């Protein structure tokens, strides 16, 4: 009862410690992570992060595109002829040098409006129409001249380039195509009125060369710096379309169609166009779902690992606790076992010393008691010494070719007196045709004695001891049978563990250290064999040592 309560306390404390120190924090962490993932899923945060990246990429891209367009316009602007020199030839040269320009034009009140189109395209009807259109459109320059010039000067004084862009739709067959027109302040010529200059981008050049090249370089340049590319899953692709239309005007090389994730209406160099970005081969939503799914999977796996870890720790710690308990039992058992024979020896020795015994027989009886008790002490101490050698890994065996039948017979013979004194009927059955085995004589004899001793100790009513030695296929078997108290089924695998004693009151009242069977098992296993038990409570037990014939039980090994 008392033992049970102790057992319980120990277990509860262990459980509490594990729960408070490990399980609670771990469980809290897992729950926290799960909740967090849930909220990420709800708020679509993963998608939001990539989307933010995309917005950034588009903003940077617009900036790069507009810088590039400004550079191109500047090249034309700096080489712009002064109004007095502006003639078809000088303007043609300008167009020749800058293939991306389809038309150049200028206006000031002195010269009026001068427009020159790329001559080699003038045989195309669409292009001619485009040129005429532009000429008409430019009539605003006359009316808004002073306002525009004022605006340019303000821009100039603020350090901004005096350039702005307009977009136009130019006829192409029965459709219209996008064109961007740059209007700027032409370089100033002293003594002349300020001049409005301008160029119209070549529509086909923009569509077929400038935009695709720009988109590809933007993808490579911007995305190398942003997260979505580093994660390695999918790269981004971009396209450009007319605002309000969905079909692309130009795309980056591996555009795979589908709806863009994020768009940005361009305002600076290419007004009227929209820049769009998406992931190649997937969508943000499915990417987010995949992230959440893998996160949950990882979390699940971690939880399982954690649970397994806790279980393992619990089992190990519990084993240690149980062993510590067994050790403390062992100490008290052994002290008890040492004290009894010593007390007996002292008692009989003192009696003998007084020399007052009546008969020679009595003397003889007392001497034999002293001898027996000291033999018991020796056996116990041998067990303990063997055990400590085994524990330290220093137990050595002396394997020699041995006639095991003779060994068993001799061992029993030297013990027969005791067996009979205890009132046991000994039944021996030893086969004669056994092959010689390589054995450590002393160790095997000790194993047999341990088994015989247990049979004597744990038999109360029916005092029977049977020892049988026989050959069974590839092994020689040594059986020790009793009709004693037996061992409950659930305990049978534990009794071979060190210090273990069955928690039965019948056993508790019998002296023992819990070492005997663990030694037997160690010794037998060192011989390459094994020991087993069959038992039923109240009916008796049968221990069987099986030793392999021709076991190469390598000489002198230890366990």
Q: Which residues are near ligand ADP by CB under 6 A?
A: 450, 454-455, 458, 482, 484-487, 495, 500-502, 507, 512-518, 541
Nearest-angstrom CA–CA distance, 363 and 358: 8
Q: Would you say 46 or 380 has its CB closer to ligand ADP?
A: 380
- Beta strand pairing status for 464-472 and 425-430? parallel
Q: How far is the CB of 389 from ligand ADP (least distance, A)?
A: 17
Contact by Cβ (8 Å): 192, 83: yes
H-helix or E-strand spanning residue 151: helix 140-157
Q: Would you say 253 or 425 has its CB closer to ligand ADP?
A: 425
Half-sphere exposure of 338 (CA within 13 A, CB side): 10
Q: How far is the CB of 441 from ligand ADP (least distance, A)?
A: 21
Q: How far is the CB of 335 from ligand ADP (least distance, A)?
A: 14
Q: How far is the CB of 38 from ligand ADP (least distance, A)?
A: 55
For residue 17 the two structure tokens come to 């410690």
For residue 409 the two structure tokens come to 């017979």
Instruction: Give the residue among 143, 147, 81 at the shortest CA–CA distance from 114.
Output: 81
Nearest-angstrom CA–CA distance, 226 and 52: 10
Q: How far is the CB of 490 from ligand ADP (least distance, A)?
A: 12
Nearest-angstrom CA–CA distance, 275 and 475: 86
Q: Would you say 63 or 339 has its CB closer to ligand ADP?
A: 339
Q: How far is the CB of 415 from ligand ADP (least distance, A)?
A: 15
- Give, in order, the Cα–Cα distances in Å from 23 to each of 19, 303, 319: 5, 11, 19
Q: Would you say 203 or 453 has its CB closer to ligand ADP?
A: 453
- Beta strand pairing status for 196-201 and 101-108? antiparallel
**CB-count exposure of residue 31 (10 Å: 0-12, 13-18, 19+):** exposed
Q: Would you say 512 or 529 has its CB closer to ligand ADP?
A: 512
Q: Would you say 240 or 546 has its CB closer to ligand ADP?
A: 546
Q: How far is the CB of 390 from ligand ADP (least distance, A)?
A: 13
- Give, in order, the Cα–Cα distances in Å from 11 to each of 105, 325, 503: 96, 12, 18
Q: Would you say 275 or 519 has its CB closer to ligand ADP?
A: 519
Q: How far is the CB of 315 from ligand ADP (least distance, A)?
A: 23
- Rounded to the nearest 10 degrees, how much is the dihedral formed by the CA atoms of 319, 325, 330, 333? -140
Q: Would you say 234 or 541 has its CB closer to ligand ADP?
A: 541
Which neighbouring-strand residues pair with 182? 165, 199
């Amino acid at each position: 009862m008392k033992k049970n309560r102790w057992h319980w306390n120990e277990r509860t404390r262990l459980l509490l410690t594990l729960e408070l120190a490990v399980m609670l924090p771990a469980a809290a962490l897992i729950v926290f992570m799960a909740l967090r993932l849930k909220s990420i899923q709800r708020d679509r945060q993963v998608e939001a992060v990539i989307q933010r990246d995309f917005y950034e990429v588009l903003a940077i891209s617009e900036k790069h595109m507009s810088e590039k367009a400004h550079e191109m316009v500047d090249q034309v602007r700096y080489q712009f002829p002064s109004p007095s020199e502006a003639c078809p030839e000088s303007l043609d040269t300008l167009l020749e040098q800058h293939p991306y320009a389809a038309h150049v034009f200028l206006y000031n009140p002195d010269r009026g409006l001068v427009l020159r189109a790329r001559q080699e395209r003038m045989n195309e009807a669409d292009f001619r129409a485009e040129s005429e259109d532009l000429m008409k459109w430019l009539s605003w320059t006359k009316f808004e001249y002073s306002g525009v010039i004022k605006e340019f000067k303000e821009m100039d004084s603020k350090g901004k380039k005096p350039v702005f862009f307009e977009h136009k739709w130019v006829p192409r067959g029965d459709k219209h195509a996008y064109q961007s027109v740059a209007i700027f302040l032409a370089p100033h010529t002293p003594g002349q009125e300020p001049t409005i200059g301008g160029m119209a981008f070549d529509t086909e050049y923009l569509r077929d060369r400038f935009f695709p090249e720009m988109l590809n370089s933007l993808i490579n340049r911007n995305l190398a710096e942003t997260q979505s590319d580093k994660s390695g899953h999918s790269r981004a692709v971009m396209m450009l379309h007319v605002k309000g239309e969905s079909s692309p005007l130009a795309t980056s090389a591996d555009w795979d169609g589908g709806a863009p994730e994020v768009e940005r209406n361009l305002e600076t160099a290419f007004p009227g166009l929209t820049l769009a970005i998406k992931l190649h081969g997937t969508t943000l939503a499915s990417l987010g779902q995949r992230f959440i799914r893998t996160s949950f999977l990882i979390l699940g796996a971690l939880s399982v690992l954690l649970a397994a870890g806790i279980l393992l720790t619990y089992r190990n710690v519990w084993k240690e606790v149980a062993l510590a308990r067994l050790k403390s039992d062992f100490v008290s058992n052994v002290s008890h076992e040492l004290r009894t024979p010593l007390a007996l020896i002292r008692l009989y020795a003192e009696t003998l010393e007084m020399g007052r015994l009546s008969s020679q027989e009595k003397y003889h009886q007392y001497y034999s008691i002293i001898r027996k008790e000291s033999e018991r002490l020796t056996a116990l101490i041998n067990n303990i010494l063997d055990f400590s050698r085994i524990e330290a890994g220093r137990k050595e065996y002396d394997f020699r070719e041995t006639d095991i039948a003779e060994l068993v017979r001799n061992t029993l013979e030297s013990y027969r007196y005791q067996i009979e004194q205890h009132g046991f009927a000994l039944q021996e059955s030893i086969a004669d045709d056994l092959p010689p085995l390589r054995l450590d004589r002393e160790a095997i004899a000790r194993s047999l004695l341990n088994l015989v001793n247990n049979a004597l100790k744990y038999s109360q009513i029916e005092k029977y001891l049977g020892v049988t030695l026989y050959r069974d296929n590839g092994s020689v078997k040594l059986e020790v049978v009793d009709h004693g108290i037996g061992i409950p089924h659930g305990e049978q695998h534990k009794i071979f563990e060190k210090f273990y004693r069955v928690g039965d009151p019948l056993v508790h009242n019998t002296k023992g250290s819990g070492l005997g069977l663990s030694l037997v098992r160690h010794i037998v296993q060192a011989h390459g064999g094994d020991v087993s038990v069959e038992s039923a409570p109240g009916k008796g037990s049968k221990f069987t040592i099986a030793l392999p014939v021709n076991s190469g039980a390598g000489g002198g090994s230890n366990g």
